[in-house]
Structure 1
Amino acid sequence: MSFREKYARLGERYNVLEKPLDGALCPLRRKAVSFARGKTLEIGVGVGKTLRYYPKDVELHAIDAVPEMVRIAENRARELGLNARFYVMDAERLEFPSESFDTVISSFVFCTVPNPEVAMREIHRVLKPGGRAIFLEHTKSDSRLLNWLFLKPLDLLLGALLDDNTLRETQRLVGEYFEVEHEESHYHGIVRLMVGRKEG
């Protein structure tokens, strides 16, 4: 079963699954979105957990590979009175012209994307020169002990449940494609917030 099918089955229950983590993660989502300016693309919007944090002057476009998730996010945007456009689309195949966006945001997406390097290349392509790419991601910890005692078992569980990979080093990939302006490590690197700028 693909990650799309697994997330489609979860639907609204995804909120329940992640509810215990909201206290820790929602302030980080708010902070990540605070870097957004102008025409913004959110990659992997899911059930729309970031939507309430967007300022009204941002022109928001949001994608997800799972149609069921896109419908939930659209409903949430309507409830919030948010003017946003939603698309069913893969991160590895963004159907937008090059240099279309001032900001691209990815929030807990690169642990699931099947081909992270292709997705990163696509984000770089659709971002305008001088634009910002914002990543709030699960990553491999700086602590070997945490990786073995916590992340490795979690990786097995979430891998089976959602095709998530909690041991990816997305921060390295961000550094290969963007000039990193800001980076924060939380919970010994289990979560990182990175802001990169495209040259030019």
Structure 2
Amino acid sequence: MYREKYDRIAGFYELLERPLDRFFNPLRESAVSLAEGKTLEIGVGTGKTLRYYPQDVELYAIDGSEKMLEMAKKRAKELGMDVKFKVAEAESLPFPDDFFDTVVSSFVFCTVPEPERAIEEIKRVLKPDGMAIFLEHTKSESELVNYLFLLPMKLILKPLLDDDPLRDTHKLVRKHFKVEKEEAYYSGVVRLIVAKNDKD
């Protein structure tokens, strides 16, 4: 189970990710800076995104790993932020229907065990016309990139973190939300998707 795996590596997780930060942090900032109103971040991890949120956002954050969440809490305190943290799974969000103006997911859906169910939960807790922001690892449109880069990554990351970088998360988002903007980076290996909850 991914929770136990992330608990085990929480102490050195950021060290493992540091080589990618110069590529991903600008994208995190672009994604998170769009948040408005009452906002939920799913899979907040160690809290790398926290410093990018607008000051007027009322922020809630969940993660399945208690150890990772402890690090996020420490970071929020250092930043002087008031964040409501909960240990929870994306597939079972502990919030009422139509509760949030914005939901943010940053590099999460490659690890979520049941992505379809998690998407349905995001729709449920979002207000009608609420905004969903996804910054995700996704399968590339290039089969060569998938074969030479993402498949080897999956062979390493799947046993280590239950991470599957070959998921079609962008297609799942399109299925359930009205996409307003989609930007592909690095041959589609990373995508930023901004979507509206068009439920009646």
Q: TM-score, normalised by structure 1?
A: 0.98
Moved over 3 A (4+): none
Find the aligned partners of 1:46 and 1:151 in 2 and give their Cα distance: 22
What's 2:136 paired with?
A: 137
Cα displacement string for residues 107-154 of structure 1 (whole angstroms, at most 9, x for unaligned residues): 000000000000000000000001100000000011100100110010
Q: How far is the alpha carbon of 1:160 from its aligned partner?
A: 1.3
Task: Give yes or no for contact 1:70–1:86 (8 Å, CA) kept in 2.
Answer: yes
Q: Secondary structure at the match of 2:7?
A: helix
What is the identity, as a one-letter code, of the residue corresponding to 1:26? N
Percentage identity across paired residues of the two chains = 59
Q: Partner residue of 2:125? A: 126
Report the residue type matching 2:11 in the other structure: E
Is the partner of 2:149 in helix, strand or coil? helix
In structure 2, distance between residues paired with 1:40 and 1:156: 34
| 1:190 match | 189
In structure 2, the residue matched to 1:179 is 178
Per the TM alignment, residue 12 of structure 1 is displaced from its structure 2 partner at its CA by 2.5
Structure 1 unaligned segments of length 5 or more: list them: none
Task: In structure 2, list runs of 5 or more residues that go unmatched.
Answer: none
Contact 1:12 1:47 in 2 (8 A): no
* 1:15 and 2:2 aligned: no
**How many residue pairs were aligned?**
199
Distance 2:5 2:104 in 1: 23
Aligned to 1:57: 56
Give the root-mean-square deviation of aligned CA atoms.
0.6
Q: 1:74 is paired with a residue of what secondary structure?
A: helix
Match of 1:166 in 2: 165
Whole-angstrom distance in 1 between the partners of 2:97 and 2:45: 24
Aligned-partner SS, 2:130: strand
In 1, the alpha carbon distance for the partners of 2:172 and 2:3 equals 23
**Within 2, Cα distance between the matches of 1:78 and 1:12?**
18
